[in-house]
Structure 1
């Protein structure tokens, strides 16, 4: 008889489950579907791209993510020793991953996660220049609301530089 029970449990576990809408959960579905009206939040990693160098600095505290990224990149200047992009590349790009406190200061050192368009000593100059620019721009001037929203969240900030022809 024990073999019969094991066989029936195996058959029941292999049978397809009945499809039914899941209602009432705060974690499943989309906000516009029935039963999915949960509060939306910011994504885990905030991502932004900024074409550098910027023509002007921010004059007021950043109150949105759209205003945050240029405020972080405002101090970027073309690093000394940075030449034209490598053959086959139009742009020079570098991406930093960082986190901010509520007051706009850095939590730990930023990490370079991507660099393209340069190699060798030019890459070293690009990395050093970008890290120095971020150090000059932090703590970034944030509104209290944005500071609470982004505190501790990872930010991936991509700088794109297209040298003049």
Structure 2
């Protein structure tokens, strides 16, 4: 019975890491941060040439201080299309966290406001 419980626990950990990939690679620069976040982004299939810029701030532990805010939205269609695209970008950002900052980057990153554009392919 114990071996079954161990197998279930191992499978659970494997499934959790498949759903929430580890972002354990230490990031040393803001370019590294942008690249890591963009790697989590998959634009909606029907997005056309849409884009949204999100504004957000990090804590030293790689999580966000509050929710990201859209500061520029360029999406064809109505309010639902805009909401869907913004939600996809926000979800991609939040699913990418927490990030792992180097000690030097963590020291200077906390509380600063950053912006990042999420765009569909052109």
Question: Structure 1-normalised TM-score?
Answer: 0.55
Using CA pairs under 8 Å that are at least 6 residues apart, name the structure with larger relative contact order, 1 or 2. Answer: 2
Give the aligned CA root-mean-square deviation in angstroms. 2.0
SS at match of 2:85: helix
Q: 1:94 aligns with which of 52, 57, 76?
A: 52
For 1:124 and 1:148, how far apart are their aligned partners in 2? 34
Count of residue pairs the alignment pairs up: 100
Closer, same or farther in 2 for the Cα pair 1:128/1:65, shift >3 Å?
Answer: same
Larger gyration radius, structure 1 or structure 2: 1
- Structure 1 stretches of at least 4 aligned residues deviating more than 4 Å after TM superposition: none
Structure 1 residues without counterparts, runs of 5 or longer: 1-56, 86-90
What is the Cα deviation at residue 72 of structure 1? 2.0
Counterparts in 2 of 1:126 and 1:135: CA distance versus 1, 3 Å: same
Distance 2:88 2:47 in 1: 15
More helix by share: 2
Aligned partner of 2:114 in structure 1 is 155
1:61 — aligned with what?
26
